[in-house]
C-alpha cells in the first residue's frame, strides 16, 4: 500500500502543473489588467509601469510562471494585490469560516440522504417511494436563488427564526447557533435531493444481487440484510460521490457566502476576481486542486478497507 501511495503522490505532480498552467493562462488572457485598477483615478503610464515592476508583471511569462511554481512549492503566495495583506493570513482567517458552513452541509447531507435512501429503497415501488422521488425531482427543478430569497423572507422576516445576514469573527458557537443555520438549511434543501436519488439507486441495485437473496435464504433479518450486507457494498459508490462533492462544496460556498455576507473563501475569491487579485486566486485554486487530489487518494484507500477484494494498482 505504501508503494501505491507514493505512485499516486507522484501522479499528482503533473496534474497540479496542469492546473497551475491553466490558471496562469486564463488569468493573463482574460483576467484584466490589475495595474489599472490599482493605479486609481490618476492613471498615467509612469505609475502603471511602476506598479507592474513592483508586481513583477513587466517580466516575461516564463519568469512569471516560474515564480508562480516557486510559490506553490513554498506555499507562500505573497501579498494580496488589492489589500496588501499576506495571502496566508487571509486564508487562515477565512478557511475556518467556510469549513464551519460546508462541513456541516457535507455531513448532514450524507446522514439525511443515506438514511432516507435506505428507507425508500426498503419500500421501493410503494406510494411512499414514488412520492419522495417526485418531491426530489420537483426540488431539483427549483433554482438555488429562489430557495435563498424565499428562505430569507419566510424564516427570517416572517417567522424570525434565523438571522438573515452576518457573521461573528471571534465567537464560534454564536455562528453555529445564530448565523450558520439558515444558509446550511437552504443549501441542504438543494444538495440533499440529488444525493438521495443517487444513493437510493445504489442501494436498490445492491438488493438485486445474489448475495442478498442468499442472506435472506439463510434466515437473516431484513434489517441485518439492509444495514450489514447491502449498505456495506453500497458504501463504495456512496463514498465516491461524497468525495466528489467535498471540493465542489467550496464552489457552492461562493454564492452562499456572498448572499449571506459571510467572510469566507467563497466571498473572497469573488472579490479577488472582481479586483484581478491574482495571488489570492492562485492560492485558492491550488489549495482546492490539492484538496481534490488528496480526497481522491483517501477514498481509494477506503475502498480497500470497505472491500478487501479491491486491489490497489
Answer yes or no: pTM beyond 0.85. Answer: no
Q: For residues 158-164, give the mean pLDDT.
A: 78
Does a structural domain hold residue 79?
A: no
Predicted confidence at residue 4, as pLDDT, reads 74
Q: What is the pLDDT of residues 232-280, one digit of tens each?
A: 778 778 888 887 777 777 677 777 887 887 888 878 888 887 777 788 8
Does a structural domain hold residue 129?
A: yes
Predicted confidence at residue 191, as pLDDT, reads 81
Do residues 166 and 295 share a domain?
yes
Do residues 167 and 29 share a domain?
no
Does a structural domain hold residue 161?
A: yes
d(C-alpha 267, C-alpha 273), whole Å: 10
Tell me what percent of the residues of the chain surpass a pLDDT of 70: 91
Residue 310 has pLDDT above 70, yes or no: no
Does a structural domain hold residue 80?
A: no
Q: How many contiguous H segments (helices) and E segments (strands) does the chain have? A: 14, 0
Higher-confidence position of 42 and 18: 18
Predicted confidence at residue 309, as pLDDT, reads 65
Cα angle at 282 between 280 and 285, to 5 degrees?
105
Q: Which domain holds residue 92?
A: 87-306
Do residues 69 and 178 share a domain?
no
CATH code of residue 222: 1.10.3720.10
Q: What is the pLDDT of residues 146-156, one digit of tens each?
A: 888 888 888 87
Do residues 135 and 16 share a domain?
no
Do residues 167 and 61 share a domain?
no
Does a structural domain hold residue 56?
A: yes
Three-state helix/strand/coil letters over 95-161: HHHHHHHHHHHHHHHHHHHHHHHHHHHHCCCCHHHHHHHHHHHHHHCCCHHHHHHHHHHHHHHHCCC
Residue 299 C-alpha cell reads as: 477514498
pLDDT bucket at 1, cuts 50 / 70 / 90: low
Residue 166 has pLDDT above 80, yes or no: no
Predicted confidence at residue 175, as pLDDT, reads 78
Residue 211 has pLDDT above 70, yes or no: yes
Least confident of 115-119, 161-165, 191-195: 161-165
Query: Of 49, 74, 99, which closes a domain?
Result: 74
Contacts of 136 by beta carbon, 8 Å cutoff, 6+ apart: 193, 194, 196, 197
Residue 86 has pLDDT above 80, yes or no: yes
Query: Of 12, 44, 74, which closes a domain?
Result: 74
Predicted confidence at residue 57, as pLDDT, reads 72
Residue 190 has pLDDT above 70, yes or no: yes
d(C-alpha 70, C-alpha 256), whole Å: 33
Do residues 249 and 217 share a domain?
yes
Do residues 231 and 274 share a domain?
yes
Q: What is the pLDDT of residues 169-180, one digit of tens each?
A: 777 777 787 878
| Count of other CB atoms within 10 angstroms of residue 76 | 12
Do residues 18 and 151 share a domain?
no
Predicted confidence at residue 44, as pLDDT, reads 66
Does a structural domain hold residue 313?
A: no
Phi, psi of 170 (to 5 degrees): -135, 0
Do residues 205 and 226 share a domain?
yes
Query: Of 74, 98, 117, which closes a domain?
Result: 74
Q: Which of 25, 14, 33 is nearest to 61 (CA)?
A: 25
Does a structural domain hold residue 135?
A: yes
Does a structural domain hold residue 178?
A: yes
d(C-alpha 105, C-alpha 182), whole Å: 11
Do residues 44 and 185 share a domain?
no
Do residues 234 and 184 share a domain?
yes
Contact 257, 267 (CB under 8 A): yes
Q: What is the pLDDT of residues 90-127, one digit of tens each?
A: 888 888 888 888 888 888 888 888 888 888 877 777 78
Average model confidence (pLDDT) for the chain? 79
Do residues 47 and 163 share a domain?
no
Domain count for the chain, please give it. 2
Amino acid at each position: 500500500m505504501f508503494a501505491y501511495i507514493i505512485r499516486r503522490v507522484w501522479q499528482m505532480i503533473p496534474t497540479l502543473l496542469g492546473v497551475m498552467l491553466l490558471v496562469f493562462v486564463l488569468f493573463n488572457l482574460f483576467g484584466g489588467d490589475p495595474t489599472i485598477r490599482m493605479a486609481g483615478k490618476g492613471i498615467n503610464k509612469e505609475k502603471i509601469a511602476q506598479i507592474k515592476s513592483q508586481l513583477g508583471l513587466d517580466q516575461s511569462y516564463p519568469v512569471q510562471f516560474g515564480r508562480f511554481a516557486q510559490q506553490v512549492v513554498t506555499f507562500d503566495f505573497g501579498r494580496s494585490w488589492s489589500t496588501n495583506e499576506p495571502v496566508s493570513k487571509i486564508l487562515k482567517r477565512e478557511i475556518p469560516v467556510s469549513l464551519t458552513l460546508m462541513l456541516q452541509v457535507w455531513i448532514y447531507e450524507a446522514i439525511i440522504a443515506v438514511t432516507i435512501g435506505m428507507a425508500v429503497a426498503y419500500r421501493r415501488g410503494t406510494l411512499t417511494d414514488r412520492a419522495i422521488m417526485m418531491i426530489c425531482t420537483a426540488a431539483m427543478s427549483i433554482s438555488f436563488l429562489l430557495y435563498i430569497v424565499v428562505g430569507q423572507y419566510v424564516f427570517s422576516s416572517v417567522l424570525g427564526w434565523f438571522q438573515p445576514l452576518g457573521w461573528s469573527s471571534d465567537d464560534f458557537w454564536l455562528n453555529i447557533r445564530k448565523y450558520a443555520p439558515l444558509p446550511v438549511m437552504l443549501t441542504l434543501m438543494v444538495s440533499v435531493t440529488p444525493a438521495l436519488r443517487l444513493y437510493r439507486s445504489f442501494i436498490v441495485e445492491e438488493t438485486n444481487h445474489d448475495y442478498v437473496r442468499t442472506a435472506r435464504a439463510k434466515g437473516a433479518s431484513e434489517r441485518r440484510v439492509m444495514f450489514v450486507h447491502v449498505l456495506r457494498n453500497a458504501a463504495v459508490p456512496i463514498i465516491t460521490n461524497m468525495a466528489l462533492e467535498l471540493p465542489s462544496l467550496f464552489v457552492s460556498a461562493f454564492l452562499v457566502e456572498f448572499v449571506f455576507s459571510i467572510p469566507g473563501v467563497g466571498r473572497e475569491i469573488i472579490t479577488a476576481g472582481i479586483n484581478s487579485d491574482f495571488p489570492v486566486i492562485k492560492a485558492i485554486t491550488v489549495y482546492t486542486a490539492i484538496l481534490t487530489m488528496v480526497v481522491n487518494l483517501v477514498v481509494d484507500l477506503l475502498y480497500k478497507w470497505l472491500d478487501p477484494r479491491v486491489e490497489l494498482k
